[in-house]
Structure 1
């Protein structure tokens, strides 16, 4: 069993969305993957994208199967972001809830490409 298999024991919708995100990133270019207990990170010189399952933290509440988090040097104005935080000066973490593969549209592909390019 791989680390990704272990991470996505349940639910299957989360794994399917992860696979779709990973395919989009692979289409952009190479990126390393790092699996931890809480998330899977994609990186080049720096990490640029993370996926995680909010249901493992927000028990008893309806949550999206997967969240895609991207870091940018500025706040993106889209209303699609669930939350934007600035954990370090000039590093804005943007959190996008993914409920289905339809959420991975051209706008999200553009954000992934931008984050990938900025990660070096």
Structure 2
């Protein structure tokens, strides 16, 4: 029994980010049975290691441009213009940050990135 916080707890008062979380879970559930880990700063989707994260930029920024960000860990830099920012925290990992403003933002391209990230996390 998990006594820790849930995604519902993390996204309390933020219905759109919770909807995004549920949609991302549906997407990755098609190709991987993921574990969800919730911390004070994010909701992480994991297999052997974490590969995608959802977080609320309003926790850190006074005037965020989006209510929720999906961060995806890839083993390469992806140069899509859709990324708000790409970080390179270690030699083999690039974290790509996507501002999600509409459920339609979670399109086939994003599904491909999530699939690629999940494969690396196995």
Bucket of the pairwise TM-score, normalised by the shorter protein: over 0.9
Confirm or deny: 8 A CA contact 2:43 2:54 kept in the other structure: yes
Unaligned runs of at least 5 residues, structure 1: none
Residues 19-38 of structure 1: pairs in structure 2 closer than 5 A: 19-38=22-41
Confirm or deny: 8 A CA contact 2:27 2:111 kept in the other structure: yes
Aligned residue for 1:100? 102
Q: Deviations over 1:47-73 (max 9, x none)?
A: 1111101111112x1431211111111
Q: Give the ranges of 4+ consecutive aligned residues of structure 1 lying more than 3 Å apart after TM superposition.
A: none
Aligned residue for 1:53? 56
Unaligned runs of at least 5 residues, structure 2: none
Which of residues 60, 83, 86 in structure 2 aligns to 1:84?
Answer: 86
Task: Please report the TM-score for the alignment, with normalisation by the length of structure 2.
Answer: 0.91
**How far did 1:13 drift?**
1.1
Secondary structure, in 3 states, of the residue corresponding to 1:10?
coil
Aligned residue for 2:76? 74
Confirm or deny: 8 A CA contact 2:36 2:46 kept in the other structure: yes
Aligned residue for 1:109? 111
Secondary structure, in 3 states, of the residue corresponding to 2:53?
strand
How big is the alpha-carbon RMSD for the aligned residues of Structure 1 and Structure 2?
1.4
Secondary structure, in 3 states, of the residue corresponding to 1:28?
coil
Number of aligned pairs? 119
- Partners of 1:28 and 1:101 lie apart in 2 by 19
Which of residues 11, 16, 21 in structure 1 aligns to 2:19?
Answer: 16
